[in-house]
């Protein structure tokens, strides 16, 4: 999959493309990453990409011309790419959106700065606006990196452990992931659950499902609302119900 990010701070993306899972995905050809420097498409000698807002007000607004030129140049190299704008007004980015975008061949992400972007560019050139949360950042670069990382994990081969690794991640199943343990077997008096040392994979799977449901119930109960539960999940709830009945009757 091809990614391109339109930004005023390409150096932020340079580190991202060359680190960890993303670096390995780029090196293996599973994804490509391009940081497009918007100032290179400004027409004046000062490379101006922002100006004062019409109507007055604080801050500056990103000009439409450099953005449009940068986008058109990028689309010549990756035609047919979906163009998204990182924006606090955008649709919340979630796992389902990541899964949908992972099926694309290419994606262009536009990163805003200052007080915002000239609305004419947004209305004429942007296909979708997406947000990573209801809070304000200095620019779209951090959000763009989060989006690319989330999508890349869903591309077969990127995680190195097959698509199953991504399918078991938190939110991919609609639940928080189960608790994890590693060596040492005992840490500050706390022991790894015996079932994880048993080698009985059927029982381990049952434990992991119960751990996942328990953590979801305690930390994100909203994820359980309107969920269609599987037979195995219902069995866990029935077990809890019997345990609660026993405790209440004591």
Residues 96/98/102/103 CA torsion (nearest 10 deg): 30
CA distances to 15, 45, 53, 109 from 157, rounded to whole Å, are: 22, 45, 46, 23
Is 115 catalytic? The answer is yes
Is 222 catalytic? The answer is no
Q: Choosing from 115, 129, 149, 177, which is the catalytic residue?
A: 115
- For residues 104 and 84, what is the distance between their CA atoms, to the nearest angstrom? 13
Is 129 catalytic? The answer is no
Is 185 catalytic? The answer is no
Long-range contacts of 238-241 (CB under 8 A, 24+ apart): 239/210
Q: Locate tokens 């975008």: which residue?
A: 101
Q: Choosing from 65, 169, 177, 233, which is the catalytic residue?
A: 169
Element (H, E) at 146: helix 141-152
Q: Choosing from 113, 141, 153, 210, which is the catalytic residue?
A: 153
Treating both helix axes as pointing N-terminal to C-terminal, what angle do 20-27 and 141-152 enclose, rounded to 10 degrees? 60
Q: Choosing from 88, 208, 215, 233, which is the catalytic residue?
A: 88
List residues with catalytic annotation.
88, 115, 153, 169
């Amino acid at each position: 999959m091809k990614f391109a990010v339109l930004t005023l701070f390409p150096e932020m993306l340079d580190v991202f493309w060359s680190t960890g899972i993303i670096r390995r995905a780029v090196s293996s050809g599973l994804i490509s990453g391009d940081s497009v420097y918007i100032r290179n498409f400004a027409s004046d000698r000062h490379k101006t990409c922002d100006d004062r807002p019409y109507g007055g007000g604080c801050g500056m607004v990103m000009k439409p011309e450099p953005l449009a030129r940068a986008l058109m140049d990028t689309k010549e190299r990756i035609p047919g790419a979906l163009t998204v704008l990182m924006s606090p007004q955008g649709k919340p980015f979630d796992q389902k959106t990541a899964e949908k975008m992972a099926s694309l061949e290419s994606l262009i992400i536009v990163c805003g700065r200052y007080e915002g972007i000239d609305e004419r560019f947004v209305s004429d050139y942007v296909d979708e606006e997406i947000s990573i949360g209801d809070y304000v950042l200095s620019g779209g670069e951090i959000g763009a990196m989060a989006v690319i990382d989330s999508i890349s994990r869903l591309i077969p081969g990127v995680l190195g452990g097959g698509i199953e690794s991504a399918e078991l991640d938190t939110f991919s199943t609609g639940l928080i992931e189960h608790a994890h343990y590693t060596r040492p077997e005992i840490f500050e008096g706390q022991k790894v659950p015996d079932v994880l040392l048993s080698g009985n994979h059927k029982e381990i799977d049952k434990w992991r499902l119960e751990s996942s449901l328990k953590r979801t119930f305690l930390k994100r109960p909203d994820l359980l609302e309107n969920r269609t539960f599987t037979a195995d999940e219902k069995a866990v709830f029935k077990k809890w119900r019997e345990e609660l009945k026993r405790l209440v009757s004591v």
